[in-house]
């Protein structure tokens, strides 16, 4: 086995299950260590059925002495959307569950609970993301409100494991006071420019332990042995159209990989539509459910047999590529986005898009159930993106008599 002996405290072990930021972001680039006006939670899980019991709890706080309306979109892995809007009052924290949309105040067995939160639930037995931003009270325009921040906690009730990560937060730049409209309603410009929002990170950057199924990487410390198993990657494109008449965002994540000897590996990639989640070592074996074609290549580069060292680092960039054409096909029953004829390529129009996401790593103690550590990823200088959404019109005044 690949064993390294280090000394660390038990407190550090449990810190792994919390939240870390892997790299400091450049100025005017969205990140997980600031407050913002736009929040993105890259990974939402809602599998509550006979075979699984995984839910996600969202927490959002308003660190300001005035209330604000927050517009949110649930987005699943096929870019189906469910939007909703709610009020966050003065300096208020709120929470709600993906499974049923219930939250603040809705504690089971507490008859005195108040201020109940009710939003639409996330799609049943689905995975995806949550995007939220401050809007005016009519929901007609996005506004500057750099006082929001949040966390997501993914809980596996069956295996008794959980992990938590911070939202990616984007600040509106160059405004003197909160509540000012930012740009044109329905078009959130992530550029880092004055009077716009922070740009998206240029690329994802993460460390990982190489996967070795029969001889895992082990670390000794404080009389315990922990084993690092698979590393899971979730990616979301920053460029996204959430309007009713939308087209899915299709891009390719291009991976550059380095081992501990500074040897660089290229050629690995993952095509994805709107949202991706999968183990690094399984890239290249994941098939599209309709076309039955492999959606990526090069997962062996994340294994010990391919990397030749226990640890590596990876950089992922979102690029447009014809290699992803004819991968995602429409099923015989047209999917929700777009309603095209059977056999039509759903990702023919590839786009270059910056990415945000998180990694989660399986960690096992001897004789104990599996734990999961979460790390937010994103780095580099900013890159321009747009989030398009349908605004609500202001209610008209009654005509004068």
Q: pLDDT for 286-332, tens place per residue?
A: 988 888 889 999 999 999 999 999 999 999 999 999 999 888 887 65
**According to the model, what pLDDT value does residue 247 have?**
82
Residue 30's region, left for phi above 0, alpha for psi from -120 to 50, else beta, is: beta
268 domain-assigned: yes
Q: Residues 187-213: what's their mean pLDDT?
A: 93
CB 235 within 8 A of CB 316: yes
**Average of per-residue pLDDT across 238-267:** 94
E strand or H helix that includes residue 364: strand 355-365
Assigned domain for 82 exists: yes
This prediction has a pTM of 0.87
> What is the model's pLDDT at position 5?
31
pLDDT reading at 11 higher than 60: no
Residue 17: its pLDDT value, please? 31
Q: Does the pLDDT of residue 135 top 80, yes or no? A: yes
DSSP per residue, 80-99 = -EEEEEEEE-TT-EEEEETT
- CB-based contacts of 15, cutoff 8 Å, min separation 6: none
Name the average pLDDT for the chain. 85
Q: Taking residues 197-225, what's their average pLDDT?
A: 86
Is residue 19 predicted with pLDDT exceeding 60? no
Structure tokens at 320: 């447009």
Whether residue 4 lies inside any domain: the answer is no
At residue 21, the pLDDT reads 37
- Asked if the structure places residue 122 within a domain, the reply is yes
pLDDT tens across 49-100, in order? 767 789 999 999 999 999 999 999 999 998 899 999 999 999 999 999 999 9
Full DSSP string of 280-320? GGGTTT-B-TTT--B-EE-GGGGBHHHH-SSEEEEEEEEE-
pLDDT score of 299: 97
Pick from 180-194, 208-222, 325-339 the range whose average pLDDT is largest.
Answer: 180-194
| Residue scoring higher pLDDT (87 or 26) | 87
| Domain count of the fold of the chain | 1
Give helix then strand counts, H and E, for the chain.
2, 25
Residue-level pLDDT at 109: 56
Question: Two tokens at 143?
Answer: 């506004």
Separation between Cα atoms, residue 325 and residue 338, nearest integer Å: 16
Q: What angle do CA 314, 58, 193 make, to 5 degrees?
A: 60
DSSP state string for 144-193: --TTEEEEEEEEETTTTEEEEEEPEEEPBPS-SSTT-B-SSTTEEEES--
The yes-or-no verdict on residue 237 having pLDDT over 70 is yes
Domain assignment present for residue 9? The answer is: no
pLDDT of res. 291:
83
Residue 399 lies in a domain: no
Please say if the pLDDT value at position 6 is more than 60: no
The C-alpha atoms of residue 48 and residue 209 are separated, in whole angstroms, by 30
DSSP secondary structure code for residue 137 in this structure? T
Q: Which two tokens stand for residue 253?
A: 């994540």
Q: Which pLDDT value is given to residue 111?
A: 59
Collapse the DSSP code of 236 into the 3-class scheme (helix H, G, I; strand E, B; otherwise coil) and give the result.
Answer: strand
Alpha-carbon torsion 336, 255, 354, 363, what sign? Answer: positive
| 63 contact partners, CB below 8 Å, separation of at least 6 | 35, 91, 147, 148, 149
**pLDDT of the residue at 27:** 75
Which domain range does residue 372 map to?
17-388
How confident is the model at residue 9, as a pLDDT?
26
Is 342 domain-assigned? yes
Cα–Cα distance, 327 to 308 (Å, whole number) = 31
Dist. CA 222–CA 192, nearest whole Å: 45
Which residues are within 8 A (CB) of 377 and not within 5 positions of it... i.e. 6 or more apart? Answer: 22, 23, 204, 205, 206, 356, 357, 358, 359
* Pairwise pLDDT comparison (342 vs 281), residue with the higher score: 281
Alpha-carbon span 61 to 44, nearest angstrom: 18
Phi, psi dihedrals of residue 11, rounded to the nearest 5°: -60, -40
pLDDT at 224 over 90: no
pLDDT at 216: 80
Q: Residue 104 pLDDT > 70, yes or no?
A: yes
Q: Which residues pair with 374 in a beta bridge?
A: 360
Mean pLDDT check: name the lowest of 104-108, 289-293, 341-345.
104-108
Q: Is residue 7 part of a domain?
A: no
Q: Distance between CA atoms of 39 and 166, rounded to whole angstroms?
A: 10
Q: How far is CA 371 from CA 52, 281, 359, 374, in A?
A: 16, 19, 14, 10
Instruction: Answer with the residue of higher pLDDT: 45 or 25.
Output: 45
β-pairing, 250-259 vs 276-279, is unpaired
């Amino acid at each position: 086995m690949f064993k390294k002996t280090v000394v660390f405290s038990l407190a550090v072990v449990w810190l792994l299950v919390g939240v870390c930021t892997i790299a400091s972001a450049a100025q005017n680039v969205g990140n997980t260590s600031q407050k913002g006006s736009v929040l993105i939670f890259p990974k939402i899980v809602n599998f509550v059925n006979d075979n699984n019991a995984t839910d996600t709890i969202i927490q959002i706080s308003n660190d300001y002495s005035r209330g604000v309306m927050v517009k949110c979109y649930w987005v699943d892995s096929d870019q189906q959307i469910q939007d909703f809007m709610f009020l966050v009052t003065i300096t208020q924290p709120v929470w709600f569950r993906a499974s049923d949309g219930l939250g603040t105040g809705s504690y089971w067995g507490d008859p005195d609970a108040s201020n109940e939160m009710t939003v639409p639930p996330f799609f049943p037995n689905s995975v995806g993301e949550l995007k939220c931003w401050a809007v005016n009270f009519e929901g007609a325009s996005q506004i500057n409100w750099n006082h929001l921040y949040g966390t997501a906690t993914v809980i596996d009730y069956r295996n008794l494991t959980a992990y938590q990560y911070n939202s990616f937060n984007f600040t509106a730049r160059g405004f003197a006071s909160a509540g000012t409209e930012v740009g044109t309603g329905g078009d959130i410009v992530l550029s880092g420019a004055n009077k716009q929002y922070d740009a998206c990170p240029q690329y994802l950057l993460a460390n990982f332990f190489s996967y070795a199924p029969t001889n895992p990487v082990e670390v000794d410390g404080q009389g315990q042995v922990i084993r690092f198993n698979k590393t899971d990657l979730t990616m979301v494109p920053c460029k996204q159209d959430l309007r009713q008449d939308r087209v899915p965002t299709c891009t390719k994540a291009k991976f550059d990989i380095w081992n501990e000897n500074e040897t660089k590996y290229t050629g690995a990639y993952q095509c994805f539509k709107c949202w991706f989640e999968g183990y690094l070592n399984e890239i290249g074996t994941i098939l599209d459910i309709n076309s039955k074609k492999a959606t990526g290549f090069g997962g062996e580069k994340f294994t010990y047999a391919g990397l030749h060292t226990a640890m590596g680092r990876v950089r992922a960039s979102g690029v447009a590529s014809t290699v992803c054409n004819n991968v995602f096909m429409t099923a015989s029953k047209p999917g929700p986005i777009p309603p095209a004829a059977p056999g039509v390529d759903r990702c023919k129009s590839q786009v270059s898009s910056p990415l945000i996401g998180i990694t989660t790593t399986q960690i096992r103690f001897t004789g104990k159930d599996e734990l999961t550590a979460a790390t937010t990823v994103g780095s580099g200088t900013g890159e321009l993106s747009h989030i398009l959404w349908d605004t609500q019109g202001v209610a008209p005044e009654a005509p004068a008599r």
